[in-house]
Amino acid sequence: MADLPARPAVTRRVREINAGFEASPFSRLAITHALSTAGDAFVTVALAGSLFFDISPHAARGRVALSLLLTMTPFAVVAPFLGPAIDKIKGGRRLMIVLSCAGRVLVCLAMGQAVHNLLLFPAAFGALVLSRTYAVAKSSLVPTVVDDEDRLVEANAKLALIGVLAGFVGSGPAIFFLKVVSAAWALRVGALVFVVAAASAVRLRQARPGAPPPPELARADLHEPAIVLAASTAMAVLRGGVGFLTFLIAFELKKSGAPSWWFGLVLAATLVGGTLGAVVAPRLRARVSEENMLAAALAAVAVGA
């Protein structure tokens, strides 16, 4: 019986050890983001293979134009409505992330059955809308997993870097399934990745204990229709410009008979650019406001184009 007084201390020590192995809220979000981005890589590779690489450049132009339109539209469709909806639903942030991942499971399976017919395009549009829904919900969840606002840009930069790496890692097996099996099977494996992402999203914590609610004035400003429209338009134009440039380079490389490794070089340049942006952003934030950073980034894209 002499060892009984030591039991509370042992129990406390066990709890401390278990707490040490418990993932932090940011780690859980990072894992979910990595899985979601890897799943998007499967979708991107499969669609690129079915819309571009399997047909002639002349026949692909119409499909590429439609795919660019589908890429830009979700920014106008989702952004004005999703933010207010998330705020009105209890637990809306995590719920939106779970539903967006689960929805992409179904959409990937549907696209796998419709790779060679016109039903692929509405399914692809659904995938892009769900991907944008995830991005908006994820961005609204980031402030709840950091200690203070000063670390917010750093957290977003880390998630951006994780997304770049996860997209690179996910594209490898996606290309393997595309080349060795088919685009349909690449989409089915992507659906499996989204299943894991949805399961991971269930473990996300709603909000940091004691986190103060956002000021009503700030909420009103962020939901001002003019601000939402301007932000959505800027992102849609930016995404459309990047997509246009990507396909322009790809068409030129394919038309000139460039070797496959040139396409890999373009992909590598994209990854390097994303990585540099994720590394530089937190350091710039210490000296430049977020508004000026965004304006400078858009101006740089315009000048580069």
Q: What pLDDT was estimated at residue 193? A: 97
What is the domain count for the chain? 1
- In angstroms, the Cα distances linking 231 to 116, 130, 189, 222, 241 are 35, 19, 34, 10, 15
CB 67 within 8 A of CB 239: no
In this structure, is residue 30 part of a structural domain? Answer: yes
Q: What pLDDT was estimated at residue 272? A: 76
Domain extent for 286: 24-210+217-304
Separation CA 206–CA 137 (nearest Å): 12
Is it the case that residue 23 has pLDDT exceeding 50?
Answer: yes
- In angstroms, the Cα distances linking 269 to 85, 135, 211, 273, 303 are 37, 23, 39, 6, 18
Is it the case that residue 18 has pLDDT exceeding 50?
Answer: no
Could you read off the pLDDT of 211-220 as tens digits, one per residue?
A: 444 444 444 4
**Confidence category of residue 30, pLDDT binned at 50, 70, 90:** very high
In this structure, is residue 110 part of a structural domain? Answer: yes
In this structure, is residue 127 part of a structural domain? Answer: yes
Can you point out the beta strands (E) in 19-173? none
The number of beta carbons lying within 10 Å of the beta carbon of residue 196 is 17
Of residues 121 and 3, more confidence is placed in 121
Is it the case that residue 41 has pLDDT exceeding 80?
Answer: yes
Structure tokens at 58: 């002349």
Is it the case that residue 57 has pLDDT exceeding 80?
Answer: no
CATH code, domain with 241: 1.20.1250.20
Could you read off the pLDDT of 144-176 as tens digits, one per residue?
A: 888 776 677 778 888 988 988 898 899 889 989
Separation CA 296–CA 277 (nearest Å): 13
Burial code (b: 16+ CB inside 10 Å, e: under 16) for 84-95 equals eebeeeeebbbb
In this structure, is residue 10 part of a structural domain? Answer: no
Q: Which of 65-74, 121-130, 212-221, 235-244 shows the highest mean pLDDT? A: 121-130
Q: What pLDDT was estimated at residue 217? A: 41
Residue with tokens 């659906």: 191
In this structure, is residue 16 part of a structural domain? Answer: no
The helix, strand and coil proportions of the chain, stated in percent and rounded to the nearest 5, come to 85, 0, 15
**Confidence category of residue 240, pLDDT binned at 50, 70, 90:** low
Calculate mean pLDDT across residues 55-71: 56
Q: Which residues contact 102 (CB under 8 A, 6 or more apart)?
A: 194, 198
In this structure, is residue 4 part of a structural domain? Answer: no
**Confidence category of residue 287, pLDDT binned at 50, 70, 90:** confident
In this structure, is residue 7 part of a structural domain? Answer: no
Identify the DSSP state of 51: I
195 by DSSP, 3-state: which?
A: helix
In this structure, is residue 111 part of a structural domain? Answer: yes
Q: What is the longest distance spanned by two Cα atoms in the chain?
A: 86
Of residues 205, 216, 6, the one with CA closest to residue 93? 205
Is it the case that residue 27 has pLDDT exceeding 50?
Answer: yes
